Amino acid sequence: MAIFPMTRLRRLRANPGIRKLVRETQVTTQNLVMPIFIRPGKKQKREIKTMPGIFQLSPDLALKECEQLLKSGISSVLLFGIPESKDAMAHSGYAEDGIVQQSLKLIKSELPEMLLICDVCMCDYTDHGHCGVVKEENGQKIIANDPSLEILSHIAGSFARAGADVIAPSDMMDGRVQVIRDELDAAGFKHLPIMSYAVKYASSFYGPFREALENQPKFGDRKSYQMDPANSREAILEAKQDLAEAADILMVKPALPYLDIISKLREQFSVPLAAYQVSGEYSMIKFAAKHGAGNEETMVMESWTAIKRAGADIIISYFARDYAKSL
């Protein structure tokens, strides 16, 4: 390669047309997934204080949200439920008339082209706020792995029967992908893919999500089942295990603080890779923009480009609705 002054790298940055022509990384609306929080009732729209612009929506308004998303070019949503009642064993999670099940049937009947991804976890539906069954062991409360698997499989099966297009287990129990695959296959849903939250860290960036889903743990924390933020090699093990259990898509959560992990998984695996730009990432950008520390749109676009550049095929983001048209 010739050196300056014959080589001038700025030539390919001279104007917008050239920059677009040689741009290495492209984010499109087809890459984006919008999370939606669904609560009981009709015409219910409750703003989440720590996530300005994001709401808990009743099923009828969730349907309208999906209609607007389709118009903007986004055809994929990730559904979370806030049930009327919660108990220790997450029974409302797999009730045939549960809040997510109602929404699946409604949206699928009106908008069959919308791709409906369902988060599968117990924490949405337990009164203790943990992602698995609570047991007493040596005088201490623990989150028991194996007893949780059957409940998780029931939730997944219930969502499949209600019309889910993708099942996304987020609980981080060992072996849950396998039991969910078995449940789906036995029930005649061999065609449904599993998007596994394969690499989910015990992150400090989930704070606003706790308010959104009303699932703050009543005791302890989730560090005994979610990954230690200090660990990188372990991410490869988690991903390999989920792939061995027949996961179809892998996910890294959070996204921006773990771009190195996204990159490692991209180098190791050829399956589709998703990254979740979580509530804390969303709120940081919102609050920075509000106080004049940066332009919201350019920060969003830069963050999406970084996530895509690191290797993600799919970006789950609360900004998807507002900035789809900018793409």
**Selected catalytic residue, list 45, 64, 253, 290:** 253
**Selected catalytic residue, list 45, 105, 200, 240:** 200
Give pLDDT, residue 151.
98
Q: How is residue 278 written in tokens?
A: 């979580």
The secondary structure of 27-73 as a DSSP string is: --GGGEEEEEEE-SSSS-EEE-TTSTT-EEE-HHHHHHHHHHHHHHT
Q: Which CATH class, in words, describes the domain spanning 27-323?
A: alpha beta
**Whether residue 1 has pLDDT greater than 90:** no
Per-residue pLDDT reduced to its tens digit, 138-168: 889 999 999 999 999 999 999 999 999 999 9
| 286 close to 299: Cβ distance less than 8 angstroms | no
Q: How is residue 207 written in tokens?
A: 């704070």
Give pLDDT, residue 320.
98
Active site residue 200: yes
Q: What angle do CA 124, 91, 140 make, to 5 degrees?
A: 70
Q: In the predicted model, what is the mean pLDDT of the chain?
A: 96
Per-residue pLDDT reduced to its tens digit, 10-44: 999 999 999 999 999 999 999 999 999 999 999 99
| 275 close to 315: Cβ distance less than 8 angstroms | yes
Rg of the Cα trace of the chain?
20
Active site residue 64: no
Could you tell me what percent of the chain has a pLDDT over 70?
100
Band of residue 187 on the pLDDT scale cut at 50, 70, 90? very high
Q: Which of 66-70, 190-194, 209-213 has the lowest mean pLDDT?
A: 209-213
Give pLDDT, residue 273.
98
Q: What is the pTM of this model?
A: 0.96
**Whether residue 215 has pLDDT greater than 90:** no
Give pLDDT, residue 228.
98
